[in-house]
Structure 1
Amino acid sequence: MARINVRELQSPIRQRYKDDPQAAQIRLRVRSAQADLSDPLHCSAVGVSTPDISWRSGAHPAVGGTGDVPCSGDLLLGALAACQETTIRMVAANMGIELASLEVEVDADWDARGTLAMGDYPIGLTAIRCTTRVTVPEDVKGERAERLLRSAEKYCVVLNTLRNGVPVESSFSLV
């Protein structure tokens, strides 16, 4: 299996950001993809930087969806799982640690009655739990392994965004 040298890969990127701090300010963009508007249960989204890849999503079965594609909550949890796994893989690579196994599991609590306007119930997820299970070789146990876990938790962008919150602006308009 080909090994990727993350330090080598990131070295010119780090230098560019040192030379030009503004270059490190990234704006991520996703937009809805045109789809069959007669289907109220499904939609698609596409990343502006990856226009050939779209993510199908649909309403959760708890609110009438068919369950044939992930709901938007699944995509949110998937973003956390993917970010946590990518982060721990990159940190391990930077530390020269070969992972024996890695699994990230994310689950959340949600009361669907809020979304269905059935009364004064919260709308949105009320708790998220992320469990990351890592197996490292015997020679990596101890402080080095603990540092791997601490660093992965510290540098996971999605985990920190969800924990710390960010201002969210939302606008709706009729065109």
Structure 2
Amino acid sequence: MPNQKFSTKNTKSIKDTSIVHQRHLVLNEKYLKDTASAWITDSAEVVGKNLHDPFRTSVSINDNMKVPFKIGVHKAVGGDHDFPNPGDLLCASLASCFESTIRLISNKLRIELIETKIKVIAQIDVRGTLLFDTSVPVEFQTMHIDLLIVAKNTNEKLLNTLINGAKRSCIIYQTIKKGIPITLNTDVKIKN
């Protein structure tokens, strides 16, 4: 099969055997009938505990599962960095979304993945966030993805289709790449 040419004729039989494609067909039908059902909400929540400790907190991921995750503050801004920091979580979010997208698309294309490795690196000059130099933007200045894919039953053209499809379909990649406005509601109370 490695030398097999992938034409549109072959694509139908490939998709018919893909579990991802089968599930996407069901979802497509559902979303065509009810576009509102395509809207999902992801969430995370921090409920402050041990507020006397400025360097550590915990975030619960997902409203239903409430998976707890310890967070530490980076050494570069005065913390101990003894737990993953929010920047680490941002990198983890991009790496896991990109790899998941690779898996879904490779299943649809019937590419047999042997190994994947996605490493995300984000860099920031922290002088802006610390107000040491207000001309430095308070944001990651660069983000980079190192991608390794080892696969069977494919060719270079199909692998390019896979990678371009992942870039196009990875929600976190597209969100970070384009940016998104963030709204903020506040409820502040002062206790004496």
Flag whether TM exceeds 0.5 (same fold). yes
Comparing 165-174 and 70-79, the one that deviates more: 165-174
Q: 72, 76, 81: which one pairs with 1:62?
A: 76
The equivalent residue for 2:19 is 5
Please tell me the residue identity of whatever aligns with 1:94. Answer: K
Counterpart residue number, 1:168: 182
Structure having greater relative contact order (Cα 8 Å, sep ≥ 6): 2
Change (3 A) 1:165 1:95: same
- Distance in 1 between the 2:159 and 2:166 partners? 11
Structure number with greater Rg is: 2
Greater Cα offset, 65-74 or 6-15: 6-15
Letter in 1 for 2:65: P
- Is 1:14 equivalent to 2:8 in the alignment? no
Distance in 2 of aligned mates of 1:52 and 1:31: 8
Question: Is 1:152 aligned with 2:169?
Answer: no
For residue 133 of structure 1, what is the aligned residue in structure 2?
Answer: 148
Amino acid at match of 2:63: S
User: In the TM superposition, what are the counterparts of 1:85-164 in structure 2 within 5 Å?
Assistant: 85-120=99-134, 121-137=136-152, 139-164=153-178
Q: In structure 2, how many angstroms separate the alpha carbons of the residues matched to 1:18 and 1:47?
A: 30
Shift of 1:169: 1.2
CA contact (8 A) 1:33 1:54 kept: no
| Aligned ranges 1:21-60 → 2 under 5 Å | 21-60=35-74
Deviation of 1:33 (Å)? 3.2
The AA in structure 2 aligned to 1:134 is: I
Of 88, 107, 114, the match for 1:74: 88
Deviates more, 1:151-160 or 1:51-60: 51-60
Which amino acid is 1:125 matched to? F
Shift of 1:143: 1.3
CA distance in 1 between counterparts of 2:121 and 2:99 reads: 15
**How far off its partner does 1:94 sit?**
1.2
> Partners in 2 of 1:113 and 1:126 — Cα distance?
12
How far, CA to CA, are the matches of 1:9 and 1:32 in structure 2? Answer: 34
Aligned counterparts of 1:90 and 1:13: Cα–Cα separation in 2: 14
What is the deviation of 1:142? 2.1
2:46 aligned counterpart, secondary structure: strand
Coordinate RMSD, CA, aligned? 1.7
| Alignment size in residue pairs | 171
- Worse-matched range after superposition: 153-162 or 58-67: 58-67
Question: Under a length normalisation based on structure 2, what TM-score does the superposition of the two structures give?
Answer: 0.82
Helix, strand or coil: the match of 2:103? helix
Structure 1: unaligned runs, 5 residues or longer: none
